[in-house]
Structure 1
């Protein structure tokens, strides 16, 4: 009896998925989209920022509140004064938002593929942790830009005008205190931007909630989630911003605030607990439209380039 055996080809074993999926090929689009976000944020938010910085750093009796600061500024110096110091943040916000949002996009990818590989989508805590890392990363770009901006914003008239513009200000600081002087406030900048944990964590939560419970368009969801998460961020982070501005507008060659704690103690001793929220109203008013518009722009460009 002849038996025939059928030879079957070996069964193909599927290969495991690659460690680096195709998505990271788009790792550069966040940097591009961040540029558009930065330009949008500056034109919407800078006037509010000028009022905020002046209220944070002016003597207690100079302004009665944000409206008085706005009226005095525009009456004495013209409407363009609200955009004092806008040149460095115009370029600066383009660079800062490019670095911040570009690095955020990449930190999200790293968190998804290495910290939360079994999750279908990156959870809110992943977005929050990525936000901290993005905040620390951009601080090395933001610190000198915000230092120059703050010093220009507190120049009220000829008597207080020590610098003719952003380049002159940066050069003057370097001549007086070296590169370290330009980076004075780096630690306070990193402390302030650590609160990005709450910004990006809440942004993800609000975005998913709106998608599941409303009929809003994607752009509208981005706008409202961006504005509301910015309000959460500024409410929690504002005291650290007051300390940061206090350090950055201190004397260049002989600062009286040697450490972050010294500056915090000065704010408290000078104005009490309320001092940590001085200028909060214009900052809060600015936070929603500036960040809502900026994040809506960022997400729109991201969708276009993806």
Structure 2
């Protein structure tokens, strides 16, 4: 029985290969606007741990706004402003091209759920090269609580200089292996997105609603599975320099100092954020991709 998987693709063209990259820029901008305040709360809760300055996500929001003002929820946003657009362009553009690669010369063949998952894995490892510098700069600014002369970093450029002094010319890629480990879960993100999309299309929902709902559900699946690795990655990448604890040893450190619950600090804001942020971003990506491809056929 033929699987419901959307319209068949015609022969791959240069426009097809570039559409995902262009649409990814729109997706990244959407993600920043909707999701950055949630991300700030998530990162602060993750880094502070169970014995830090916040008793939970709500307390983090209240204290952040009260002590630093509402704009503090967008701390570190200047890096993602460009970075998330670049990250989504690379992630979604490479995802589209890995799908085309897996499809091969048989343009009539529909990709399986496993094919989509493998394309997601490849996209995750590819985007890690861009995501690592963006995320390490963003997180170090997000967990900087002091202001004025007491600040460790004056801004993104100062973070980059500090990392170069601590780790050499490739300092901005400190934690690349940790980011690749976390982005490996894109296997689950894009595999489940295809599963959810097929299930929703079978119920004859409009395509834009399929994109939105499947994107949100896939994001929830992704964060549920990868969250412990994300916590460890972020703890590792925001340590004092040079990092005293390795990425692998950080797993045992978190467990020894906080127990199993330490791997889920900040999970609630991350889970809540993941649905609207990624549902909106994937809807924008899918819609923009279709518009670009349709314009090329006219």
TM-score by length of 2: 0.91
Q: Deviations over 1:195-239 (max 9, x none)?
A: 00110011011111111114x221111000000000000000101
Match of 1:217 among 199, 206, 223: 206
Q: What is the 5 A alignment of 1:175-214?
A: 175-214=165-204
* CA deviations over 1:4-49 (Å, ceiling 9, x no partner): xxxxxxxxxxxxxxxxx73243201110000000000011000000
**In the alignment, structure 1 residue 244 sits paired with structure 2 residue 227:** no
Q: Aligned residue for 2:243?
A: 255
Quick check: 1:24–1:109 contact (8 Å CA) kept in 2? no
Deviation at 1:61, TM superposition (A): 3.8
* Superposed displacement of residue 119, structure 1: 7.0
Q: Residue 129 in 1 paired to residue 118 in 2?
A: yes
Aligned to 1:266: 253
Provide the C-alpha distance between the structure 2 equivalents of 1:87 and 1:230, rounded to a whole number of angstroms. 24
- Indicate the structure (1 or 2) with the bigger Cα radius of gyration: 1
Q: CA deviation at 1:169?
A: 1.1
Contact residue 11 and residue 107 of structure 2 kept, 8 A: no
The 3 A distance-change label for structure 1 pair 282 and 202 is same
Match of 1:163 in 2: 153
Provide the aligned C-alpha RMSD in A: 1.5
Alignment CA distance shift 1:179-1:118 (3 Å):
same
Q: Distance in 2 between matches of 1:243 and 1:224?
A: 29
Partners of 1:192 and 1:240 within 8 A in 2: yes
Cα deviation, residue 177, structure 1: 2.4
Distance in 2 between residues matched to 1:199 and 1:301, nearest whole Å: 20
Distance 1:270 1:119, change over 3 A: farther
